[in-house]
Each structure stands twice: as structure tokens, then as C-alpha cells.
Structure 1
Amino acid sequence: MALCACRGVPHALLATALLLPLLAHADQEPLDTPAASGETASYETTEDAPRSAYLSDWYNQNVTVIGSKNIRFGPQQIDDIYLEYEFFGRKGPLDLYGYIDMPKFFGIGNAADSGIFDNGSPIFAEIKPRLSINELSGRDLRLGPISEWYLAANWIYDWGRNSDNRQNTLYTGLGTDIDTGTPLDVSFNFYGKYQWENYGADNENSWDGYRAQLEYSYPLASFDNGASLFYAGFTNYDFGSDLGDGDTTRTNESVVATNAFVYSFTHLRFLAVARYFHNGGQWNDGSELNFGDGDFSVRSTGWGYYLGVGWQF
């Protein structure tokens, strides 16, 4: 779903949600088998282990049509209907999540929206790899509730038609998984940010700030029709930037909190997302701007929404 370091919807947390029907379909395969731990992509089948409904037993994919409303990563709110390809999985030490969006793919959006077919960005992509330090070192590195440590990165790229319409951001740092002793899954990542292109902003080509990211998910229900309902959320806190220094329309910090509900069958899935922005995209809420069509007030604080229907394969 893209438009900043997060046009995509609920990102890595949705990956966990989407795994539920996959795991349910595995006929209760023991967790210590190679396939369950993501160590093989074999298609060998037996009566006890029938072939998976998916193309791979560790690399998960889906294509989703998403409608968005009041998205606040830029100075003007965006409404859009677009196409998203999402992928994720765990194999050995690699924990991978990513998506590629094609903005305004169906030609539907508000006046501030542009995309793949009307001189806007043809793609918006985000890739989030993490490498397990536990597995790379071969050691049990548990520390209190922290069960696993990662080398973590998050690369975001918006392929705009020129440099003033392009974003290229790299976050790097450490990640963790936290054992809550309950069905609640929690992860925490802490990144430093290097900013290449940023739609012509003053912080381009510099190290500029940090991101603290808390991710959480919880299975809500399973149904007799084979469907499952799952909650997934995350909160990004960006701080320590210099972007707001000397520019009253920008800020040095921002917060985005995402709440997603996923209703999922083996292949078909539906999602509903409510996302709260505080100075989204580091735009100062209430500041005045003029892009040549008259003055307007930035509305970067408030709620945005997404609805989607997709196919997992």
C-alpha cells in the first residue's frame, strides 16, 4: 500500500496472519519436521504428508486488490485502489518480508493520487530481511524474554518519474523476537536511517534519525468453514531527524500505528485495516502549503483505512 516507509498495509505482521491457513492445511505436521521449520522446499508427498496447497512450503505469496482512504504519508491525503504482490517466509537464518505495489493500477483515486498509468510512480516496494544471529552463531542467545536476535534491514523504494518524486530509504539495525509465554507474538526492531532520495526534501543523502518498531499479533478465532480470524498490528516511531530544523512544514519525528484484521481461507483472504498517523511522513499537521493551486492545510494527523481481497498461492 505504499506512500512512505510504509505504503504497504500491515507488512511483516500480516505475514504471520497469512501463515495460519497454511499451517492449518498441513494436517497437523509435527513442528520438528524439516518442512515445518522451513528447511526444505521438497514436493515429495505421502499419505501422511499430502502436497501443500501452496507453491512452496516456506516462500509464501499473495496478490491483493487494496482500496485505501485518507492515507497521510504525504502533505495531501491519498485515496487509491491498487494492486499488491506480497511475499514472506523463514528459511534457515533468513526471515524475509516484502511487497511490491502498483499505485492507482485500476485508474481510481482522488485528485492528489497518481500511479502506474498516469505519470505517477509505477511501483512502490519494501523489502525487510532479517538474519538470525542465534542461527548464524549456533548459540542460544536468549536474554530474559528475548528469544532471538537479528541483523535487521528495511529498504523502501518509490520509483517516481524523476528524483523529486522518488524515495530511496534504508533502515539498518538490530531486531528481536520476544517470548510472551502466550499466543501473543511480539517483535521489536531498532534502526538507524540512511536517506537517499526523499521527494526533494532537505535530508537527502544523509544519515537522518532512527526508527523504533514494535510488532504484535494474536489469533482471534477459527471457524467450522475452515477460515481463521487474526489481528496484526505494529507501531513505528521515527525520531532524531533534522528534517524539521528550519522548515515549519516538516517535523523531526512521526508515529504510525497500524491495526489489521485478516479473515483468511486456504487461498482467499479479506483484510480490514485502521491506521493512525501522527505527523505522517514527517509533515507538520496544520501547516500551510501551496503547490500552485491555492493554499491548503496539511492534515497529517488522523486515521486512514484500507480494505482488501486477495489470493494466497
Structure 2
Amino acid sequence: MGLTGSVSCWAATAPAKGVDSAQGEDLSYEVAPANTNQKAAPWYNQNFTLIGSKDISFGPRPSDDIYLEYEYFGRKGPFELYGYIDAPKILGIGNSNDSGAWDKGSPIFMEHEPRISIDELVGRKLGFGLFKEFYIAFDWIYDMGHNKAGRANTLYTGLGTDIDTHSPVNLSANFYARRQWENYGASNENSWDGYRAQLKYILPLGKYSNGASLTYVGFTNFDFGSDLHDEPGSPRTANATVATNVLLYSFTHLRFMAVGRYFHNGGNWKDGSQLDFGDGPFEARSNGWGYYFGVGYQF
């Protein structure tokens, strides 16, 4: 789930008036005025979404799942917040490569992507040219797992910026170094291992007489420089790319989404490698398309 296995980070998105960040700043699904007293705070957005996924290749065997996701996002002063918490296989529906709390899998998968405005911390505008604002950026990904071998704990740390495209496209970029703790027993545990370059982009497509809006949301993560491939004959790779494309059809509270996500060396697994995890040999499938469909409610 997440940027490493769910479809969440796309979702900080249907732009509201005044939006100038694709990271999640001041973004709202609202297309009509709502009673902000119903929110935890006027700047704080949250929603629940039920998501069905198919052929998701963050491991060498694609998984299908139906799971529940809680998501939040907003901007308060220098702090830009975005994150989600997933309950994998919450309905007990998924293929043999998928597991959740009810069948000795992971009960929780979550990702949190806060950014802190350097401009606001120092009290002056640092942007220049196409770069509108600069941030200290983080991306923490945690898979609780059923045991240590099924757990992952990754922190990306770096710098971010919002980019002026002189067009309706909202664009944000982040560059991170990766600190890896648990990683499902992989050889890069407890080390600094590699980097991530990330782009997020949003394009409003239209508003309709029924009060709905249609938005394209995309983000691409390019991971590189990992030492996982160093062992002779290793089925792991130094690089991995995930490109996510979302169509979001949303009302004030109700929203529907359809997602196509392309994986190349998903999870740093080499496509076509011959593997055996103790239940018989198989060929890794870490390149190709995966899909998500979801319905959610924002409050």
C-alpha cells in the first residue's frame, strides 16, 4: 500500500481555490461551501475510502486486496501535512499473495509525508525563478507486519519545493535520502541506502452542473542508489520506479477514483528473476500495471 504499496499519496488532491502546491497544501475535495465547524479544524481535511486493488507489484508476486484507508491532509502555518493509515485485507478478500490482520498478515500499513516551510521558518521568501517555496521534507513508511520478518520501517529525509509551471498544472518536487530499518529481512536493514526523487502533479479537468469536479492526479517515485543489488546473482535492483495516474471524481463529501499505476522493478525486485520462498519456485513479476478503484467520504 501507499507510495510503497497503496494508492494514497495521489489523494491529497482535488484542488480548491488558491491551491499552489501538489503536495497537499490547502487542498480540498470540496466543490461547494461546506460547514467547516464539522471538521476537526478548518484547515484539516480527512476521509475514509474503501479501495479495491489488483496486480499491485511492490513485491515479486502481485497482490489483490480490498482495504480501508483513513487519510488526512492540510496546511497550518509552516507545517504541511499529508498521511494515511491502511487496514489491509480488512474484509478478508484478496488473492493468495495478500494477507492482513485476519490471516497472520500486517494489521496496519501507514505513510506520513510532512513538510516544513523553510521560507516561513526564516520569515522571508526564498523562492526564485520557477521555485516558489522550499521545504524540509520527510516521508515515513511503516508496515507493522505480523512479525519482524514481515515488518518494514523506512524514513526518507530531504528537501522539497513547489514549482511554478505557468499553467493550470500544480507541481511539487521532493528529493530524499533513505534511512532503512526493518525491510522484510532484506540485506539493507539498519543502514542509509539510496535516494528517492519524487514529482507530484495535479491538473483540474472540469466542473459539472451536478456539483462534481474531475481532476487528474499523478506522482512518480524514482528510487536509486540502493545496495540491494550488490550481492552476486541477487534478484534485487538498485533502482525502482512507480508512476501513478489517478482520475478523481468528487462532490463535496463523496468521491470516486480510478487509478492506473505502473511499476518498474517494484520493491527493488528484478522482473523475471527465479525465486523460491519455500512454497515452490516462481518467476518474479515486478514490471507492469496495477489498478485501484475506490469510493470514499470526506468529512
Equivalent of residue 178 in structure 1, options 163, 180, 186:
163
Equivalent of residue 260 in structure 1, options 236, 246, 252:
246
Q: Could you tell me how far apart the structure 2 residues matched to 1:14 and 1:148 are? A: 22
SS of alignment partner, residue 136 of structure 1: helix
Q: Could you tell me which amino acid in structure 2 is paired with residue 25 of structure 1?
A: A
Aligned residues: 287
SS of alignment partner, residue 157 of structure 1: strand
Identity of aligned residues (%): 62
SS of alignment partner, residue 135 of structure 1: helix
Deviation of 1:116 (Å) = 1.6
Deviation of 1:72 (Å) = 0.2
The residue aligned with 1:31 is: none
Instruction: Calculate the TM-score normalised by the size of structure 1.
Output: 0.89
Decide which structure has the larger Cα Rg and report it. 1
For residues 52-73 of structure 1, the C-alpha deviation after alignment (integer angstroms, 9 at most, x for no partner) is: 5644311100000000000000
For residues 234-253 of structure 1, the C-alpha deviation after alignment (integer angstroms, 9 at most, x for no partner) is: 11000011001115210010
Q: Could you tell me how far apart the structure 2 residues matched to 1:51 and 1:154 are? A: 28
The residue aligned with 1:94 is: 79
Q: Could you tell me how far apart the structure 2 residues matched to 1:256 and 1:94 are? A: 26
The residue aligned with 1:7 is: 5
Equivalent of residue 250 in structure 1, options 207, 217, 236:
236
Deviation of 1:187 (Å) = 0.5
Deviation of 1:20 (Å) = 4.5
* Aligned Cα root-mean-square deviation (Å): 1.4
Deviation of 1:118 (Å) = 1.2
Deviation of 1:291 (Å) = 1.7
Q: Could you tell me which amino acid in structure 2 is paired with residue 136 of structure 1?
A: L
- 1:109 maps onto 2:106 in alignment: no
The residue aligned with 1:211 is: 196
Contact 1:10 1:259 (8 Å CA) reproduced: no
SS of alignment partner, residue 164 of structure 1: helix
Q: Could you tell me which amino acid in structure 1 is paired with residue 297 of structure 2?
A: W
Q: Counterparts of 1:225-304 in structure 2 under 5 Å?
A: 225-246=210-231, 247-304=233-290
User: Unaligned 5+ residue runs, structure 1?
Assistant: 28-49
Contact 1:10 1:232 (8 Å CA) reproduced: no
SS of alignment partner, residue 113 of structure 1: coil
Contact 1:169 1:197 (8 Å CA) reproduced: yes
Q: Could you tell me which amino acid in structure 1 is paired with residue 186 of structure 2?
A: A
Q: Could you tell me how far apart the structure 2 residues matched to 1:169 and 1:10 are? A: 17
Q: Could you tell me which amino acid in structure 2 is paired with residue 302 of structure 1?
A: G
Q: Could you tell me how far apart the structure 2 residues matched to 1:264 and 1:207 are? A: 40
- 1:136 maps onto 2:121 in alignment: yes
Q: Could you tell me which amino acid in structure 1 is paired with residue 5 of structure 2?
A: R
User: Unaligned 5+ residue runs, structure 2?
Assistant: 16-26
